[in-house]
Protein backbone atom coordinates (compact mmCIF):
# COMPACT_ATOMS: atom_id res chain seq x y z
CA UNK A 1 0.00 0.00 0.00
CA UNK A 2 2.79 2.33 0.97
CA UNK A 3 4.58 1.57 -2.28
CA UNK A 4 1.42 2.40 -4.22
CA UNK A 5 1.02 5.74 -2.46
CA UNK A 6 4.61 6.63 -3.26
CA UNK A 7 4.43 5.63 -6.91
CA UNK A 8 4.65 8.33 -9.58
CA UNK A 9 1.10 7.51 -10.61
CA UNK A 10 -0.18 8.25 -7.12
CA UNK A 11 1.53 11.63 -7.36
CA UNK A 12 -0.26 12.29 -10.62
CA UNK A 13 -3.59 11.58 -8.97
CA UNK A 14 -2.66 13.71 -5.96
CA UNK A 15 -1.78 16.54 -8.33
CA UNK A 16 -5.30 16.33 -9.77
CA UNK A 17 -6.76 16.49 -6.29
CA UNK A 18 -4.66 19.53 -5.37
CA UNK A 19 -5.80 21.36 -8.45
CA UNK A 20 -9.46 20.46 -8.02
CA UNK A 21 -9.75 20.35 -4.24
CA UNK A 22 -12.38 23.07 -4.33
CA UNK A 23 -14.74 21.06 -6.49
CA UNK A 24 -13.92 17.58 -5.23
CA UNK A 25 -13.96 18.34 -1.51
CA UNK A 26 -15.13 21.81 -0.58
CA UNK A 27 -18.18 21.94 -2.86
CA UNK A 28 -19.37 18.71 -1.20
CA UNK A 29 -18.64 20.02 2.28
CA UNK A 30 -20.57 23.22 1.58
CA UNK A 31 -23.52 21.26 0.19
CA UNK A 32 -23.69 18.94 3.21
CA UNK A 33 -23.16 21.92 5.50
CA UNK A 34 -26.10 23.68 3.87
CA UNK A 35 -28.39 20.74 4.65
CA UNK A 36 -27.20 20.69 8.26
CA UNK A 37 -27.72 24.43 8.56
CA UNK A 38 -31.24 24.13 7.21
CA UNK A 39 -32.05 21.35 9.70
CA UNK A 40 -30.77 23.47 12.57
CA UNK A 41 -32.91 26.37 11.37
CA UNK A 42 -35.87 23.99 11.23
CA UNK A 43 -35.34 22.78 14.78
CA UNK A 44 -34.99 26.34 16.04
CA UNK A 45 -38.20 27.30 14.26
CA UNK A 46 -40.00 24.32 15.85
CA UNK A 47 -38.75 25.24 19.30
CA UNK A 48 -39.67 28.89 18.90
CA UNK A 49 -43.11 27.90 17.70
CA UNK A 50 -43.49 25.69 20.76
CA UNK A 51 -42.64 28.55 23.12
CA UNK A 52 -44.73 31.14 21.31
CA UNK A 53 -47.88 29.19 20.69
CA UNK A 54 -47.71 26.54 23.34
CA UNK A 55 -47.79 22.86 22.72
CA UNK A 56 -51.45 22.59 21.89
CA UNK A 57 -51.11 24.28 18.54
CA UNK A 58 -49.11 21.67 16.80
CA UNK A 59 -48.95 18.69 19.04
CA UNK A 60 -51.22 16.49 21.08
CA UNK A 61 -51.59 16.92 24.87
CA UNK A 62 -48.20 15.39 25.65
CA UNK A 63 -46.33 18.17 23.90
CA UNK A 64 -43.36 17.93 21.62
CA UNK A 65 -41.54 15.30 23.65
CA UNK A 66 -44.53 13.06 23.60
CA UNK A 67 -44.99 13.64 19.89
CA UNK A 68 -41.40 12.66 19.23
CA UNK A 69 -41.71 9.61 21.41
CA UNK A 70 -44.90 8.51 19.75
CA UNK A 71 -43.60 9.28 16.32
CA UNK A 72 -40.34 7.46 16.71
CA UNK A 73 -40.54 4.84 19.41
CA UNK A 74 -43.74 3.26 18.22
CA UNK A 75 -43.19 3.53 14.51
CA UNK A 76 -39.87 1.89 13.77
CA UNK A 77 -40.38 1.28 10.02
CA UNK A 78 -41.37 4.90 9.56
CA UNK A 79 -38.37 6.02 11.58
CA UNK A 80 -35.97 3.89 9.53
CA UNK A 81 -37.48 5.30 6.38
CA UNK A 82 -36.98 8.79 7.73
CA UNK A 83 -33.35 8.02 8.57
CA UNK A 84 -32.76 6.50 5.13
CA UNK A 85 -34.41 9.57 3.68
CA UNK A 86 -32.02 11.80 5.59
CA UNK A 87 -29.05 9.89 4.20
CA UNK A 88 -30.55 9.99 0.73
CA UNK A 89 -31.05 13.72 0.90
CA UNK A 90 -27.34 14.13 1.58
CA UNK A 91 -26.62 11.63 -1.19
CA UNK A 92 -28.83 13.39 -3.75
CA UNK A 93 -27.36 16.81 -3.12
CA UNK A 94 -23.89 15.24 -3.18
CA UNK A 95 -24.69 13.51 -6.48
CA UNK A 96 -25.86 16.75 -8.09
CA UNK A 97 -22.73 18.57 -6.98
CA UNK A 98 -20.57 15.64 -8.08
CA UNK A 99 -22.17 15.59 -11.53
CA UNK A 100 -21.40 19.25 -12.21
CA UNK A 101 -17.95 19.12 -10.67
CA UNK A 102 -16.89 16.02 -12.61
CA UNK A 103 -18.40 17.25 -15.89
CA UNK A 104 -16.52 20.52 -15.85
CA UNK A 105 -13.39 18.94 -14.39
CA UNK A 106 -13.23 16.60 -17.40
CA UNK A 107 -13.88 19.40 -19.87
CA UNK A 108 -10.96 21.35 -18.43
CA UNK A 109 -8.68 18.43 -17.63
CA UNK A 110 -6.69 18.48 -20.87
CA UNK A 111 -7.55 22.03 -21.87
CA UNK A 112 -6.80 24.42 -19.00
CA UNK A 113 -3.09 23.62 -18.90
CA UNK A 114 -2.84 24.12 -22.64
CA UNK A 115 -4.55 27.47 -22.32
CA UNK A 116 -2.17 28.75 -19.63
CA UNK A 117 0.81 26.94 -21.19
CA UNK A 118 1.61 25.02 -18.00
CA UNK A 119 1.30 21.91 -20.16
CA UNK A 120 4.90 22.68 -21.10
CA UNK A 121 5.90 22.25 -17.48
CA UNK A 122 3.97 19.00 -17.04
CA UNK A 123 5.43 17.69 -20.27
CA UNK A 124 8.95 18.48 -19.11
CA UNK A 125 8.67 15.65 -16.58
CA UNK A 126 9.19 11.95 -17.28
CA UNK A 127 5.49 11.10 -17.33
CA UNK A 128 3.77 9.50 -20.29
CA UNK A 129 0.68 11.13 -21.73
CA UNK A 130 -1.19 7.88 -21.17
CA UNK A 131 -0.41 7.99 -17.45
CA UNK A 132 -1.43 11.66 -17.31
CA UNK A 133 -4.80 11.04 -18.94
CA UNK A 134 -5.50 7.95 -16.85
CA UNK A 135 -4.65 9.82 -13.64
CA UNK A 136 -7.30 12.39 -14.56
CA UNK A 137 -9.85 9.65 -15.16
CA UNK A 138 -9.04 8.07 -11.81
CA UNK A 139 -9.48 11.45 -10.16
CA UNK A 140 -12.86 11.96 -11.84
CA UNK A 141 -14.28 8.45 -11.40
CA UNK A 142 -12.79 7.30 -8.11
CA UNK A 143 -11.31 10.15 -6.09
CA UNK A 144 -14.14 12.65 -6.52
CA UNK A 145 -16.97 10.12 -5.91
CA UNK A 146 -15.21 8.55 -2.91
CA UNK A 147 -14.81 11.99 -1.36
CA UNK A 148 -18.47 12.70 -2.10
CA UNK A 149 -19.55 9.43 -0.48
CA UNK A 150 -17.37 10.15 2.57
CA UNK A 151 -18.89 13.61 2.93
CA UNK A 152 -22.38 12.10 2.68
CA UNK A 153 -21.54 9.88 5.65
CA UNK A 154 -20.06 12.78 7.59
CA UNK A 155 -23.16 14.87 6.83
CA UNK A 156 -25.47 12.08 7.94
CA UNK A 157 -23.57 11.58 11.20
CA UNK A 158 -23.66 15.34 11.71
CA UNK A 159 -27.43 15.28 11.28
CA UNK A 160 -27.72 12.41 13.75
CA UNK A 161 -25.70 14.35 16.30
CA UNK A 162 -27.89 17.41 15.90
CA UNK A 163 -31.00 15.26 16.25
CA UNK A 164 -29.49 13.54 19.31
CA UNK A 165 -28.91 16.85 21.03
CA UNK A 166 -32.48 17.86 20.28
CA UNK A 167 -33.78 14.57 21.66
CA UNK A 168 -31.66 14.91 24.77
CA UNK A 169 -33.09 18.37 25.32
CA UNK A 170 -36.49 16.73 25.43
CA UNK A 171 -35.40 13.94 27.75
CA UNK A 172 -35.38 11.29 25.06
CA UNK A 173 -32.65 8.71 24.65
CA UNK A 174 -31.01 9.21 21.24
CA UNK A 175 -29.21 5.87 21.41
CA UNK A 176 -32.26 3.69 21.58
CA UNK A 177 -34.15 5.97 19.22
CA UNK A 178 -31.59 6.80 16.55
CA UNK A 179 -28.25 5.12 16.78
CA UNK A 180 -29.48 1.54 17.11
CA UNK A 181 -30.73 1.64 13.55
CA UNK A 182 -28.00 0.33 11.27
CA UNK A 183 -30.07 0.53 8.08
CA UNK A 184 -28.83 3.95 6.99
CA UNK A 185 -25.25 2.73 7.33
CA UNK A 186 -26.03 -0.27 5.19
CA UNK A 187 -27.54 2.10 2.65
CA UNK A 188 -24.32 4.11 2.78
CA UNK A 189 -22.33 0.95 2.00
CA UNK A 190 -24.49 0.60 -1.10
CA UNK A 191 -23.52 4.11 -2.14
CA UNK A 192 -19.89 3.14 -1.69
CA UNK A 193 -20.32 -0.06 -3.68
CA UNK A 194 -21.98 1.94 -6.45
CA UNK A 195 -18.81 3.95 -7.13
CA UNK A 196 -17.22 1.38 -9.48
CA UNK A 197 -20.56 0.69 -11.21
CA UNK A 198 -21.01 4.41 -11.83
CA UNK A 199 -17.40 4.60 -13.01
CA UNK A 200 -17.85 2.04 -15.78
CA UNK A 201 -21.18 3.58 -16.73
CA UNK A 202 -19.59 7.05 -16.96
CA UNK A 203 -16.86 6.04 -19.44
CA UNK A 204 -18.57 7.29 -22.62
CA UNK A 205 -19.04 10.76 -21.15
CA UNK A 206 -15.50 10.72 -19.78
CA UNK A 207 -14.13 9.88 -23.21
CA UNK A 208 -16.35 12.37 -25.03
CA UNK A 209 -15.41 15.27 -22.76
CA UNK A 210 -11.70 14.40 -22.66
CA UNK A 211 -11.45 14.24 -26.45
CA UNK A 212 -12.76 17.79 -26.80
CA UNK A 213 -10.69 18.90 -23.86
CA UNK A 214 -7.53 17.56 -25.52
CA UNK A 215 -8.30 18.51 -29.09
CA UNK A 216 -9.82 21.96 -29.36
CA UNK A 217 -8.05 25.27 -29.44
CA UNK A 218 -10.73 26.98 -27.40
CA UNK A 219 -14.22 26.57 -25.90
CA UNK A 220 -14.36 22.81 -25.25
CA UNK A 221 -17.85 23.12 -23.76
CA UNK A 222 -19.22 24.54 -26.96
CA UNK A 223 -17.75 21.73 -29.04
CA UNK A 224 -18.82 18.99 -26.65
CA UNK A 225 -22.39 20.27 -26.38
CA UNK A 226 -23.04 21.99 -29.71
CA UNK A 227 -21.89 19.18 -31.98
CA UNK A 228 -24.49 16.72 -30.67
CA UNK A 229 -27.21 19.36 -30.83
CA UNK A 230 -26.39 20.37 -34.41
CA UNK A 231 -26.18 16.70 -35.38
CA UNK A 232 -29.52 16.11 -33.68
CA UNK A 233 -31.18 18.97 -35.52
CA UNK A 234 -29.78 17.71 -38.84
CA UNK A 235 -30.98 14.22 -38.05
CA UNK A 236 -34.43 15.59 -37.25
CA UNK A 237 -34.48 17.57 -40.50
CA UNK A 238 -33.45 14.52 -42.53
CA UNK A 239 -36.28 12.70 -40.81
CA UNK A 240 -38.68 15.50 -41.76
CA UNK A 241 -37.73 15.00 -45.38
CA UNK A 242 -38.77 11.38 -45.01
CA UNK A 243 -35.23 10.16 -45.62
CA UNK A 244 -33.57 7.38 -43.62
CA UNK A 245 -32.37 8.79 -40.28
CA UNK A 246 -31.27 7.60 -36.88
CA UNK A 247 -34.22 6.91 -34.58
CA UNK A 248 -34.68 9.99 -32.39
CA UNK A 249 -34.92 7.92 -29.27
CA UNK A 250 -31.65 6.16 -30.02
CA UNK A 251 -29.95 9.38 -31.04
CA UNK A 252 -30.88 11.45 -28.00
CA UNK A 253 -30.99 8.65 -25.46
CA UNK A 254 -28.24 6.26 -26.43
CA UNK A 255 -25.84 8.60 -28.22
CA UNK A 256 -26.18 12.14 -26.88
CA UNK A 257 -27.46 11.11 -23.48
CA UNK A 258 -24.63 8.69 -22.91
CA UNK A 259 -22.02 11.10 -24.28
CA UNK A 260 -23.03 13.98 -22.05
CA UNK A 261 -24.98 12.66 -19.07
CA UNK A 262 -23.40 9.37 -18.04
CA UNK A 263 -21.48 11.05 -15.24
CA UNK A 264 -24.76 11.37 -13.34
CA UNK A 265 -24.43 8.80 -10.52
CA UNK A 266 -26.66 5.73 -10.84
CA UNK A 267 -27.62 6.56 -14.43
CA UNK A 268 -27.69 2.82 -15.12
CA UNK A 269 -30.87 2.44 -13.07
CA UNK A 270 -33.09 3.28 -16.04
CA UNK A 271 -31.91 0.51 -18.41
CA UNK A 272 -31.98 -1.83 -15.41
CA UNK A 273 -35.73 -1.23 -14.95
CA UNK A 274 -36.81 -4.31 -16.87
CA UNK A 275 -34.81 -6.50 -14.53
CA UNK A 276 -36.26 -4.77 -11.49
CA UNK A 277 -39.77 -5.26 -12.83
CA UNK A 278 -39.06 -8.94 -13.35
CA UNK A 279 -38.12 -9.12 -9.67
CA UNK A 280 -41.46 -7.56 -8.83
CA UNK A 281 -39.96 -4.41 -7.38
CA UNK A 282 -42.66 -1.84 -6.82
CA UNK A 283 -41.30 1.67 -7.15
CA UNK A 284 -44.49 3.33 -6.07
CA UNK A 285 -44.70 1.65 -2.69
CA UNK A 286 -41.42 2.16 -0.90
CA UNK A 287 -39.20 -0.23 -2.83
CA UNK A 288 -37.05 2.53 -4.31
CA UNK A 289 -33.92 1.30 -2.59
CA UNK A 290 -34.19 -2.05 -4.39
CA UNK A 291 -33.01 -0.18 -7.49
CA UNK A 292 -29.56 0.16 -5.96
CA UNK A 293 -29.24 -3.09 -4.06
CA UNK A 294 -26.31 -5.36 -4.74
CA UNK A 295 -28.12 -7.65 -7.14
CA UNK A 296 -29.30 -4.64 -9.15
CA UNK A 297 -25.71 -3.42 -9.34
CA UNK A 298 -24.52 -6.85 -10.41
CA UNK A 299 -27.23 -6.99 -13.04
CA UNK A 300 -26.19 -3.60 -14.41
CA UNK A 301 -22.97 -5.26 -15.56
CA UNK A 302 -24.96 -7.61 -17.76
CA UNK A 303 -26.55 -4.73 -19.69
CA UNK A 304 -25.29 -4.29 -23.25
CA UNK A 305 -25.66 -0.53 -22.67
CA UNK A 306 -23.00 -0.81 -20.01
CA UNK A 307 -20.42 -2.58 -22.16
CA UNK A 308 -21.06 -0.96 -25.51
CA UNK A 309 -20.84 2.40 -23.77
CA UNK A 310 -17.65 1.42 -21.98
CA UNK A 311 -16.06 0.26 -25.23
CA UNK A 312 -16.99 3.53 -26.94
CA UNK A 313 -15.67 5.43 -23.93
CA UNK A 314 -12.34 3.61 -24.01
CA UNK A 315 -11.97 4.30 -27.74
CA UNK A 316 -12.62 8.00 -27.09
CA UNK A 317 -10.12 7.99 -24.23
CA UNK A 318 -7.50 6.48 -26.56
CA UNK A 319 -8.21 9.34 -28.97
CA UNK A 320 -7.83 11.84 -26.14
CA UNK A 321 -4.43 10.34 -25.27
CA UNK A 322 -3.37 10.66 -28.89
CA UNK A 323 -4.42 14.33 -28.97
CA UNK A 324 -2.64 14.94 -25.69
CA UNK A 325 0.52 13.49 -27.14
CA UNK A 326 0.57 15.32 -30.46
CA UNK A 327 -1.57 18.42 -30.17
CA UNK A 328 0.88 21.24 -30.41
CA UNK A 329 -0.02 24.87 -30.64
CA UNK A 330 1.63 26.49 -27.67
Partner 1 sequence: MNQAIEAVMDEPAMPQAGTETVIRARGLVKRFKTTRALDGADFEVRTGRIVGLIGPNGAGKTTALKAILGLTDFEGELSVLGMDPRRQRPELMRQVCFIADVATLPRWIRVDEAIDFVAGVHPRFDRAKCERFLERTKINGQQRVRELSKGMIVQLHLAIVMAIDARLLVLDEPTLGLDILYRKQFYQSLLEDYFDENKTILITTHQVEEVEHILTDLLFIRDGKIVLSTTMEEMGARFVEVLVNPDKVGAARTLKPIDERGAVFGKSIFLYDGADPEQLAQLGEVKRPSVSDLFVATMKGTYA
Q: Which residues bind partner 1 (CB under 8 A)?
A: 6, 8, 10-12, 14-15, 18-19, 113, 116-128, 131, 325-326, 328, 330
Q: Which is nearer to partner 1, 113 or 305 (CB)?
A: 113
Q: Which is nearer to partner 1, 27 or 93 (CB)?
A: 27
Q: How near is the Cβ of 123 to partner 1 at its closest, in Å?
A: 6
Q: Which is nearer to partner 1, 37 or 120 (CB)?
A: 120
Q: How near is the Cβ of 125 to partner 1 at its closest, in Å?
A: 5
Q: Which is nearer to partner 1, 21 or 219 (CB)?
A: 21
Q: How near is the Cβ of 7 to partner 1 at its closest, in Å?
A: 8
Q: Which is nearest to 267 in space by CA: 224, 211, 306?
A: 306
Q: What are the CA-CA distances from residue 229 to residues 167, 223, 256, 264 (Å)? A: 53, 10, 8, 19
Q: Which is nearer to partner 1, 190 or 325 (CB)?
A: 325
Q: Check: CB of residue 176 under 8 Å from CB of residue 274.
A: no
Q: How near is the Cβ of 11 to partner 1 at its closest, in Å?
A: 3
Burial label, 180 (beta-carbon count in 10 A; 0-12, 13-18, 19+): exposed
Q: How near is the Cβ of 330 to partner 1 at its closest, in Å?
A: 8
Rg of the chain (C-alpha set): 24
* Cα–Cα distance for residue pair 106/108, rounded to 1 Å: 5
At 216, give phi and psi (nearest 5°): -85, 155
Q: Which is nearer to partner 1, 127 or 290 (CB)?
A: 127
Q: Which is nearer to partner 1, 124 or 218 (CB)?
A: 124
Q: Which is nearest to 205 in space by CA: 90, 108, 310?
A: 310
Q: What are the CA-CA distances from residue 173 to residues 54, 62, 63, 68, 167 (Å)? A: 23, 17, 17, 11, 7
Q: How near is the Cβ of 113 to partner 1 at its closest, in Å?
A: 7
Burial label, 287 (beta-carbon count in 10 A; 0-12, 13-18, 19+): middle
Q: How near is the Cβ of 329 to partner 1 at its closest, in Å?
A: 10
Q: Which is nearer to partner 1, 25 or 64 (CB)?
A: 25
Q: How near is the Cβ of 74 to partner 1 at its closest, in Å?
A: 55
Amino acid sequence: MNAILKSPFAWLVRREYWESRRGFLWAQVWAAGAILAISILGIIAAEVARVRFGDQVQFSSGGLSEALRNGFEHNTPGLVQALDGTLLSFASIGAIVLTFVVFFYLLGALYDDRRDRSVLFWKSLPVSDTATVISKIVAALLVAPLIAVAVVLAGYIGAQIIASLWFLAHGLNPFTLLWVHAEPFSLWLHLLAMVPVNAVWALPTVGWLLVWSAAVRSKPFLWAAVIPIVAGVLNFWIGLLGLPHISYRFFWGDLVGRALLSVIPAGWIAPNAEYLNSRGVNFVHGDQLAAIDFSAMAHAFTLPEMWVGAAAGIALIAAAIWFRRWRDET
